[in-house]
């Protein structure tokens, strides 16, 4: 299994993951922004997250606590864990849209002109 990074909203969603054994699904527009940026490309993945950031996330977000704590989630719970399900649905929906386009190309609906 590998970490999958998606949903870019800031350059740190890319730059802080450099050097990790992860999959980055970077949208084209974000890739152009990163390529044109002055952000130094260097390994940061192993840098510890500042304690105050972890503490704030832990205090404010129950889902963060469940994902962060060693015993917060069982393997059986992972597929139905809200953040996991939302991410998977985000990837599955465009796939089904593409399948629909291909189906309509290969087998046009005779009732639609």
Average pLDDT over residues 37-49: 96
Distance separating alpha carbons of residues 76 and 71, to the nearest angstrom: 12
| 43: its two tokens | 């390994």
112 belongs to a structural domain: no
**Residues in CB range of 29: below 8 A, 6 or more apart:** none
Confidence (pTM): 0.67
Contact 44, 18 (CB under 8 A): yes
Domain count, the chain: 1
| Band (65; pLDDT cuts 50, 70, 90) | very high
Q: Return the higher-pLDDT residue of 69 and 8.
A: 69
Find the domain containing 9 and state its range: 1-47
């Amino acid at each position: 299994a590998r970490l999958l990074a998606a949903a870019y909203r800031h350059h740190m969603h890319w730059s802080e993951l450099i050097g990790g054994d992860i999959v980055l699904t970077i949208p084209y527009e974000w890739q152009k922004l990163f390529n044109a940026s002055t952000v130094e490309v260097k390994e940061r993945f192993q840098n510890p997250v500042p304690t105050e950031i972890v503490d704030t996330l832990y205090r404010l977000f129950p889902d963060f606590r469940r994902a962060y704590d060693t015993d917060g989630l069982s393997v059986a719970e992972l597929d139905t864990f809200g953040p996991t399900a939302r991410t998977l649905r985000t990837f599955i929906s465009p796939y089904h849209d593409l399948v629909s386009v291909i189906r309509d190309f290969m087998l046009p609906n005779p009732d639609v002109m």
